Structure 1
Amino acid sequence: MAPSTPLDGLDKAVFQELVASFGFQMTPQDEADYFALVKAMEDEVHEVEAMPAYVDPRLVPHVALPVSARTYTVPDKKDNPLNAWSHRFTLKDDAAVATGILAGRTVALKDTISVAGIPLTLGTHPYQLTASADVPYPVPTIDAPVVTRLVESGGVIVGTSTCENFCMSGLSDTSATGPVDNPWLKGYAAGGSSSGSGVLTAIPAVQKWRQKRSLPTNKEQLGEGVDMAIGGDQGGSIRLPAAYSGIYGLKPTHGLVPYTGIGALHPICDHAGPIASSVSDVALLLSAIAGHDGIDPRSSPETPLRKNVPAYHKLLEAAIAEKEAGGAWTPTTAGKGLRVGLLKEALALPQLDPSVAAVVRAAAAKFESLGATVVDVSAPLHSRGSAIWTAAMRGAMADVFLASKAPDLHAFTTTEVSPPIMTQAWYETMTKASPMVVTAVLGSAYMGDTARFPHRYRNKAVSHVAQLRAAYDALLEDVDVLLLPVTPSVSPPHMIKAAGEASAASTLEMYQAHLGVSDNTAPFNITGHPALAMPGGWALAADSEDGKLPVGIQLVGKHHDEVGVLMAASIWEVAGLGLDEEGHSPGP
């Protein structure tokens, strides 16, 4: 690995050390010439570094509320009993509220999304994001495109939501502010890393479910929620919170929703998308935020520009209306013509709880009762999906999520975030809070060393990403959607009980628990297929005598067939919502 260059410039000694690291032997003239050439490169880098910062005019803060007028609060515990809120503020355009498709619906944003004037935490401590221990959280100077689109669509953004520490957890107890509690059962995971977005969206849904059954709504124990939220999903981070919290979360086709201005894990797996309490609201929110922004390199030639984005909610309504008009929207006929593939390998994972498998198989039977055709399908490579996910990005991942490395293609990456200083204190703090982050740092340093792992290793992994995508595509030629579990079990109890408190579990146990929940979700992050998590039923909670928690089912469709996935979900619910089956939760 090449030595670091002093900040005061390249000198002959450092250059000679650089040459020696390659084993090169140079003549004096060549050494002088190459030194001059490398020094010229450095001078140009410093020249650019000295230029004034540039902000793409498409990312300027929304004029509805100038940055100078944007204020925020950090909610007290009494106003944030589940620890789902990060910062509270209000951002809206009154004219758009009156005319836009969101019409005043309240929205929370995962705390990885840039909002000008509002601190950005990425779920970690402020000193992990800045160069000095006494500097507060960085404050973005831009509004991410999803923020602008929400405001323009009439949404009322009411705050940012707690997320996992650097988003490296599928559970919900690693945030610097402490565990985020499941709204159905306090002390249990809410799913991550978009933990707060899932919980805040679930709060009204839980209250509605309890009120319908004449149970206490537990308003004080739950706190204030929202109508809908935006999450980020790199390995399941929208779908896992949705499944654990009994709501709906869509990871759209890769690049459909712009990721510009959002804290990244790696461009190959980054997705942003809607979290809501109904299929129709997922479609509505997707209509508000989808479309290429002209900046994000994650989009593909198939990604529509913003002006060409279909009205997903209207297309869904029209498809349902067509069936209704033909008298086919009934509990025995709604599924006619729909082909569902039950993915064999997803139900064969060794860690899958039998109760979850039973809910998924019952979901398949429900599709059949609705008139759909359900067949068993097989993609053997699915069982290696998580390994391919790892091999395709782990070597560079820490540079992206810790140091904000921009994609190699044209993109806009925030410059407010500085990489943490890797000291012993950093190691001890992060090992206690989230050993997944430390593992990512060590793994990226080791796997990113091209002396050990030449680029051909990742090149081969990326070719297997294409192979995995082709395997799912082949199945989706014969079926409309794939059906499989989201999580291997219902929500487990928290492993970390309070902020700053070490878990009784070992580092290895922590890692396996927090990242071992994504084997059925992460493969679709690298293949880019749209995938929806929705409530499918109930299963008994661990360490509870009679408390039950939601089980999520997952529907996966063809690229850019979000309407088809949402329609399949709507069909399934004609025979009853997934949480209509009686489950009992003691409450939070």
Structure 2
Amino acid sequence: MSVVFLSTRPPTVSVEKLDAIAGRYGVALPGHEQPHYLHLLNGLDATLTQLSTLPVYTDPRLLPDPTTLPRTFVKLGGDAVKNPLNTWSHQTKISSTQPIHTRLAGKTIAVKDNVSIAGVPLTGGTFPELLTGKKEYPIPEIDAVVVKRVLEAGAVVKGSANCEHFSMSPLSFTSASGPVHNAWLRGYTTGGSSSGCAAAVAAMQVQGWRARHGLPSNDEEIGEGVDMAIGGDQGGSIRIPASYAGIYGLKPTHGLIPYTGIVSLIPMIDHTGPMTTTLEDNALLLSVLAGYDGMDPRCTPETPLRKNVVDYSALLACWKTEKEAKGEWTPQSAGRGLRVGVIRESLEVMGLTEEVKAIITAAAAQFKAVGADVQEVSIPMHTLGPSIWTIATRPFMCEMGLQNRVTPYPQYPMPDVTPPSFSQSAFDILNKHNPAVVNMFFNSAFLNEKPDANQMLARAMTHVQQLRDAYDAVLEDFDVLLTPVNPRVGSKHPEYEMTVDQKMEPAIGATLNTCQFNVTGHPALAMPAGWGMAPDGPGMLPVGMQLVGKRFDEMSIFKAAAAWEFGGLGLDRWNGQLN
């Protein structure tokens, strides 16, 4: 089959360019063949020129609801007075005058600053020259699907929350606008990369918690918060900050919530999901966000159509009512009928402190106390999960995540995100603010240049399936699996003047119980389990636990979490000492 390119313009590709291209493959073109291949290459160049004259097409399904216009914003990133925790990137107030339904009426929402809000600058946690090669941040023309859905449900979008540099840190000191502080203890990490989302929701959590415990308000110290936030998670970036912040953060099943209109790292591990002050709100927000959008290639045949998405919050309430009718909704029997597996290997990961281990052990005991069947289970591959996640993703991370190279599937490609090539100037900025991004460039180049790169990647992908199968096999006998989230209590922010090792050290091991479930796609919820002593200073900080369920079975996670909380909320395990 031959392809004929028709063009009346003079050729623009030179023989030297053709020879250079052939030389990349070690090919020396015979002289008599050069004109023919040159003709074909010039035909391609003419076709490219033709396409480049077309205006960028924006899918009308992503255009903002006219009733939410016009939109204004205030830049708050780095404003220590109006934004004391450095929670906010840009604040706004967007709502629809004609919502489709009112399930989120009265709820305020923030979104991670890699999520498109039409008319509001998008930063990705980095500097504009690293995101677009220009001095200005891009201003999207579209609303991400998750933004459209919360507006259709009657919520008020309060703005974009700061996130970590290119979404590549489990801590919260790398954002271009400065560190994001923990709402419970300033100067300490609130976790990343959805750091501002965690801080925004935690601000509301702190306010309500202090009121319940008879403590004075500290609103001026923590600033404005929101009821809910929408974060992103590629290795733990919803669950880790939720754990540090004492809130509820769900990484849903891969493909359950569309990722359209959000800056990607790698489609295989991209997740977006709810971060809330309560379990019930988490279930409510999930019901609004979930369901196929017709655009996101991460969705699969298992992804429900929107009309088929279950009402998680209503089902949870119905389940409680049924247990009440049977006399089982009590502190001794709320968990009756639930099977909980504690992953032994999750309690043996590198860097897990005895303090955190004791909190998770106590959480397992609370499941037993409310009547659940709790057993320790061994999943040896759990300890290999981080290595599988690393090798399966690093070869793609730079092109897809740091250069926004579009994958060959129909999608909305975020055309305004155009990072320049890695350079000395980029290194100088990243080395100061987030060495993890520099490391990612080096890692990706190292792996891709290995002679057996494709074989190693193929092997890693087979082990992704093996890892998924290992969890699926255990989940045939259990409703949820229990693990720690973070291996230690939240650390102090490092200083920018520290060495690379000093900046990276607090993050080591942070994802050892979370990143596995990004490649396998299983849903996982981080929720408050207790308190730990803040290192290097007085005070207490929240510690979270993780509940993992079968793919597309978020409902079992919500049931288990609700039953556990009937035995006492994690944040109410307080010894009277705070900060």
Could you say whether these structures have the same fold, taking a TM-score greater than 0.5 normalized by the shorter chain as the test? yes
Task: Please show how residues 122-521 of structure 1 align to structure 2 within 5 Å.
Answer: 122-132=124-134, 135-449=135-449, 452-496=451-495, 502-504=496-498, 506-514=499-507, 516-521=509-514
Post-superposition Cα deviations, 1:497-533, rounded to whole Å, max 9, x if no partner, equal xxxxx242x3234334335311100010110000000
Distance, in Å, in 1 between the alignment partners of 2:572 and 2:242 is 17
Q: What whole-Å deviation, never above 9, does each CA across 1:201-260 have from its counterpart, x for those lacking one?
A: 011111111122221221110111000100000000000111000010000000101000
When the two structures are aligned, how many residues end up with a matched partner?
567
Given candidates 22, 26, 31, the residue that maps to 1:23 is 26
Question: Which of 100, 105, 108 is the matching residue for 1:106?
Answer: 108
Structure 1 residue identity aligned to 2:540 = K
1:526 aligned to 2:519? yes
Displacement after TM superposition at 1:63 (Å): 1.9
Equivalent residue of 1:555, what SS?
Answer: strand
Give the RMSD, CA atoms, in angstroms.
Answer: 1.5
Q: Measured at CA, do residues 411 and 453 of structure 1 come closer, stay the same or move farther in structure 2, by a change above 3 Å? A: farther
Larger CA deviation: 486-495 vs 306-315: 306-315
* Structure 2 unaligned residues grouped into runs of 5+: 1-10
Q: How far apart, CA to CA, are the structure 2 residues paired with 1:245 and 1:366?
A: 21
Q: Displacement, 1:44?
A: 2.2
Aligned to 1:366, what secondary structure does the other structure show? helix
Describe the SS at the equivalent of 2:81.
helix
Q: 1:585 to 1:317 in 2, by over 3 A?
A: same
Which of 537, 561, 568 in structure 2 is aligned with 1:576?
568
- For 1:36 and 1:460, how far apart are their aligned partners in 2? 40
Deviation of 1:453 (Å): 4.0
- Does residue 86 of structure 2 align to residue 93 of structure 1? no
Deviation at 1:584? 4.9
Decide whether the 8 Å contact of 2:84 with 2:223 is kept in 1: yes
Aligned mates of 1:264, 1:164 — CA distance in 2: 14
Partner of 1:80: 83
Say if 1:379 and 1:471, in contact at 8 Å, map to a contact too: yes
Percent identity, aligned pairs only, is: 46
Distance 2:453 2:315 in 1: 47
* Partner amino acid, structure 2, of 1:560: F
Structure 1 gap ranges (5+): 1-7, 497-501
- 1:40 and 1:397 map into 2 onto residues whose CA distance is 32
Q: Deviations over 1:316-356 (max 9, x none)?
A: 11111111111101011111110000001110112101111
Pick from 548, 556, 566 the counterpart of residue 564 of structure 1.
Answer: 556
Q: How many Å separate the matches in 1 of 2:509 and 2:363?
A: 24
Q: Deviations over 1:185-213 (max 9, x none)?
A: 11000000000001100111111111222
AA partner of residue 89 (structure 1): T
Q: Give the distance between the partners of 1:131 and 1:293, measured in 2 at CA.
A: 31
Q: How does 1:52-91 map to 2 (within 5 A)?
A: 52-66=55-69, 69-75=70-76, 76-91=79-94
Q: In structure 2, what is the Cα distance between the partners aligned to 1:510 and 1:42?
A: 46
Q: After TM superposition, give the deviation of residue 577 of structure 1 in Å.
A: 0.3
Name the SS of the counterpart of 2:398 in structure 1. helix
2:392 aligns to what SS in structure 1? Answer: helix
Partner of 1:94, secondary structure, is coil
Question: CA separation in 1, counterparts of 2:420 and 2:201?
Answer: 32
Give the TM-score, by structure 2 length. Answer: 0.95
- 1:112–1:121: 8 Å Cα contact kept in structure 2? yes
User: Shift in Å at residue 421 of structure 1?
Assistant: 4.4
Q: Contact 1:12/1:35 (CA < 8 Å) preserved in 2?
A: yes
Tell me what 1:13 maps to: 16
